[in-house]
Copies of this chain bind each other. A is one copy, B any other.
Amino acid sequence: MRILSQYLPILDWGSRYGRTALSNDMIAAMIVTIMLVPQSLAYALLAGLPPEAGIYASIAPIVLYAIFGTSRTLAVGPVAVVSLLTASAIGQVAETGNAGYAIAALTLAFLSGGFLVLLGVFRLGFLANFLSHPVIAGFITASGILIATSQLKHILGVDAHGHTLPQMLGSIFEYLGQINWITVVIGVAATGFLFWVRKNLKPLLNRLGLSPLMADVLTKAGPVAAVVSTTLAVWAFDLGDRGVKIVGDVPQSLPPLTMPSLSPDFIGSLLVPAILISIIGFVESISVAQTLAAKKRQQIDPNQELIGLGAANLGAAFTGGFPVTGGFSRSVVNFDSGAETPAAGIYTAIGLAIAALFLTPLVYFLPKATLAATIIVAVLSLVDLSILKKTWAYNRDDFVAVLATIVLTLALGVEVGVASGVTISILLHLYKTSRPHVAEVGLVPGSEHFRNIHRHSVETDPTLLSLRVDESLYFINARFLLDLIQSRVSEGTEIRNVVLMFSAVNEVDYSALESLEAINLRLKDMDVGFHLSEVKGPVMDRLRTSHFVSNLNGRVFLSQYDAAKALTTKSTESGS
């Protein structure tokens, strides 16, 4: 039962579900549903899919996450960045509007879901750590710019395309002659209105004396107001006949039962994007989940989260959806509206199912420009170039990783961008550890503490060279240490003993062991003793399994202080 409720968290919270939680969850679900209807249609548009796919992608996935997920308030569904990644991945295997396109979206969700479940079952969530914070920040910012640019065509009413910034801008420029000015008026008005709602409506309503909850609901309903008013305008003035692109027929139906394609061709070209979508979606989702959980001291289990998100994506694959993940804005709204348990998600799903059954005819005249406006306003809040300034001030390596991620994502597309960011972070880290900081140390007077002779005023002895190696020793820097010690000892002719202070050495791999053996031999040839101090337990255990310690031309000291005491006394004795 314990195990079962670890894999099925619903058994845990479901058994203690009460009346207060019910009413709180219902209120939150209503607010989230109002927000999700236009958002779902919009993200389907962004992914290049028919609008109903966005609603379908919000129903089964939410329910499945409620069963398997560990966050109380995470709201799962289509999100901007993942929809962009979906469009970019499918664009390589099918044309928008083709039957193949929708099947590719299902397959992508299926592969992504399967991959997430596998990661969860094998407890490989740590893979997400390969995305450093700066790379994520840079990627999200660049994606925000790409998404906003991709929506410009809907605001202008032209047929542009492309998956990189130069492609999109070039394509828009090429089709500039097609501009539909009525569409532009609708798009610009909707965008301006939504920006105004986001910035000014809530303070205004508060000043007018509305309750905070009411003010909040009305603010969240901003997109709905834009949808309703522009739809009415198109209907009343027959703007559809004057070139304004509208959503058109949307089937009135519950999510259909669908099948992803398992053709090797599809899988071959979609597997890598699916892995990318999974990891980026997981990172976004787990960050949101952990931030919200910390506020209420709740626990998130990252590996179970993988299973929850994986189940949600598998659900999307079989019910006409596309890849989903835990979204930031919808989860925050859910949390702020007072959701207490994942049941709120189930109620949201019911609300969306009702919308799919009964409200879809109402969006026939909805202009695509309005949906584009909601996307633009939502994603521009993702764009945050301050990460460039912050990393520049703190650490040039991180800055390089961010800059490369942003520039390459914009110039070459999302997949190349994020892959380059990850590769660059890893290479920079390896490069840094390949040339470790090695400090010569001396005794801080009146203590037993040893510090860098160039930074502190310390006591030293000319016959003793004490080096603190500020890095784990492994293949990347194994040769470096060998060269360094050989050149240091050749310089100082008085040196009779070398102590390597291992306080910062957390690992000695086999390559480094061979280097240490070589150092030992070379120092022996020069008649110089070779000692270690402050070797950590796990490192010492490892070294003892080799012949290094027994062949050592010197000793292993518990502390650098012991080493200095023993070796300087001895040298004074033998020198006298």
Contacts and interface: CB of A to CB of B under 8 A. Distances in A.
Given A133-B510, A447-B559, A506-B504, A538 B437 contact: yes
A518 to B, nearest CB: 9
Contact of A394 (B425, B506, B545): B545
A357 B535 CA distance: 62
A294 B129 CA distance: 42
Interface stretch (A144-152, A164-172, A216-224, A471-479): A471-479
A514 interface: yes
A561 interface: yes
Nearest to A435: B126
Interface residues of A, number: 65
A434 interface: yes
B561 A447 contact: yes
A510 B558 contact: no
Copies in the complex: 2
A455 interface: yes
B430 A478 contact: no
A135 B476 CA distance: 12
A452 interface: yes
Interface in A400-456: 425-426, 429-437, 439, 444, 447-449, 451-452, 455
Interface of A: 126, 129-135, 294, 390-391, 393-395, 397-398, 425-426, 429-437, 439, 444, 447-449, 451-452, 455, 470-472, 474-480, 503-507, 509-511, 513-514, 522, 536-538, 542, 545-546, 558-559, 561
A470 B504 CA distance: 7
Contact of A536 (B132, B470, B474): B470
A393 B538 CA distance: 15
A132 B391 contact: no
A503 B506 contact: no
A314 to B, nearest CB: 26
Contacts of A538: 437, 470
Contacts of A435: 126
Specify which of A134, A474, A522, A558 lies most central, judged by the most chain B CB atoms within 10 Å of its CB: A474
A198 B514 CA distance: 28
A394 B510 contact: yes
